[in-house]
Amino acid sequence: MLGLLIIAMAALQADPRSLLPADRAGGCELPAKPLALADAVDLALCRNPRTAAAWAAAQAAAAQAGAARGPLLPQIDAQIGPTLNRSQSFRDTGFVDGNGQIIGGGASTVSNTTTTVRLGLNWLVIDGGARAGRIAAADANARALQAQFDDSAQGVILEVVSAWNALAANRAVEEANRANLAFARQSRDLAAARKAAGVATGADALQGETQAAQAELTLIQTRGNVASAAGRLAVAMGLPPGTALLLEQLAPLAAAPALQAGADALISQAETLRPDLRAARAQVEAAEANERVARSAGRPSVGFQAANTLSALDESIDRNLSSAGISLSIPLFSGWATRYQIAQTRAQRAQQTAVLEQVRQSAGLAVWQAYVALENALASLTPANALLRSAGESADLAQGRYQAGTGTFADLLNAQNALAAARQQFVQAEFGVRTAQAELARAVGDMSAYEGTKP
């Protein structure tokens, strides 16, 4: 699946689009079949502009790292160009022209063309470690932006998972409200029948009408929530918000093996897996390399130069000049600029080290909070299931008692409202677990651990 390939980008250092299967590399389009969560993740990674922007930044950093290696090699340049020379002389007495002929007074004009061809070579042989430092800084910056791309990809995956769960949850609530409406209509019809038989009051019939109308209104409002959630999911996948989405049936809730590992183990995994931590470490390495570059400014450098210049006057070659030499440059005094640059880069390294520690602490807190949230969500799932089962049995019993004349309509309405609330709480509990699982995977830094994103 593309989602898993994208997450492996930091290690592979390859263009994610080159990792696309051959039959999908031409474009990322909405499949004609019911949409699975894994397909939704693939579409988002292909079409979401956030991943495209992050990948472009990573490409630019990789190119900069390549450019930083250029000064290791000799720099060769060639120059060629004709020059038109024109000289005029004005004399009252005779003078000698350009051909050595003596002529009388007057004006003389001499024109010629000088053409010069120069080939030069400059090679910085020793620079006190400046080039090595710049290369290390550029490589570290490329790793940081690669990690930021990975972080953006995982953020997009979580966004799709959250939007998917929100849409599925709203559709489940819609289904529950449809069942609530059917039950309310049954109670309304039952109260109307008992009133017509003279064994119930008009208040029961009116309350039945009120509850049925309220259930219908709730269902209509839920349909609006479904449309809004569908638009959110479509936009997360890079599609127009009005795109019709047919979702594949969700698999049953998977177990949570991450909880068995414990929060401490998950925090340790996050130290290695989280892309923002990898990016922060790379920024520290870049700051250390920049400090080495600043220190190199106070060290001697050795360069080699060579050149050959060929010149021609009109159509005749008149000069061929060659030169070669080695130069030693020793910085003696720079107005304390080098010292202040070293101090600046040292402070920047300390700053990046502090940022790394801050990110590490935030990552540990995020894992802990996600761990606790998932634990609580799982704990609420069992009582929510039991509540739904007991509320359904109680509502059926209350409806049967009222129909038999042994129960009141108020008891039926209470049981009916309790059933409606239990259905909604069960949906919230189930999708709360699904979302909490995805958020824990994101906090650890491995969205591939979330079952729903696997093909």
pLDDT of residue 451: 58
pLDDT of residue 9: 35
Q: How confident is the model at residue 232 (pLDDT cuts 50, 70, 90)?
A: very high
pLDDT 10s digits, 87-132: 776 655 555 555 656 555 556 677 878 888 899 999 999 988 999 9
pLDDT at 206: 92
Task: Please indicate whether residue 194 or residue 357 has the higher confidence score (pLDDT).
Answer: 357
Confidence at residue 27, expressed as pLDDT on a 0 to 100 scale:
47
Backbone φ, ψ for residue 175 (5° rounding): -65, -40
Residue type (1 letter), 162: S
Task: Reply yes or no on whether the pLDDT at 174 is more than 70.
Answer: yes
- The backbone torsions φ and ψ at residue 116, rounded to the nearest 5 degrees and listed phi first, read -120, 135
Between strands 102-103 and 95-96, the pairing is antiparallel
Q: Which comes out higher in pLDDT, residue 74 or 15?
A: 74
Mean pLDDT along residues 146-150 = 93
How far is Cα 64 from Cα 144, in angstroms, rounded to an integer?
Answer: 13
Dist CA 58 CA 301 (whole Å): 33
Give the pLDDT of residue 315: 72
Q: What is the pLDDT of residue 102?
A: 55
Count of CB atoms situated within 10 Å of the CB of 112: 12
Q: What is the pLDDT of residue 20?
A: 32
The residues with which 112 forms a beta bridge, in sequence order, are 85
What is the predicted pLDDT for the residue at 453? 52
Supply the pLDDT for residue 83.
Answer: 84
Supply the pLDDT for residue 146: 93
Extract long-range pairs of 238-246: CB within 8 Å, 24+ residues apart.
Answer: 238/28, 238/43, 238/44, 238/46, 238/47, 238/48, 238/49, 239/30, 239/43, 239/47, 243/30, 245/35, 245/167, 246/34, 246/35
Span 286-299, mean pLDDT?
93
pLDDT at 89: 66
Domains and CATH numbers, the chain: 2-68+127-298+334-453 (1.20.1600.10)
| Mean pLDDT rounded to a whole number for the chain | 85
**Which tokens is 183 given?**
């039950």
144: left (phi over 0), alpha (psi -120 to 50) or beta: alpha
Q: Is the pLDDT of residue 23 over 70?
A: no
Give pLDDT, residue 341: 93
Q: Each residue of 386-427: pLDDT tens digit?
A: 999 999 999 999 999 988 888 888 999 999 999 999 999 999
Amino acid 96: pLDDT: 58
- pLDDT of amino acid 107: 63
| Other beta carbons within 10 Å of 264 | 12
Take residue 286 and report the two structure tokens written for it: 């870049």
Query: 156, 46 in Cβ contact below 8 A?
Result: no
> What's residue 452's pLDDT?
52
pLDDT one-digit tens code per residue, 210-223: 999 999 999 999 99
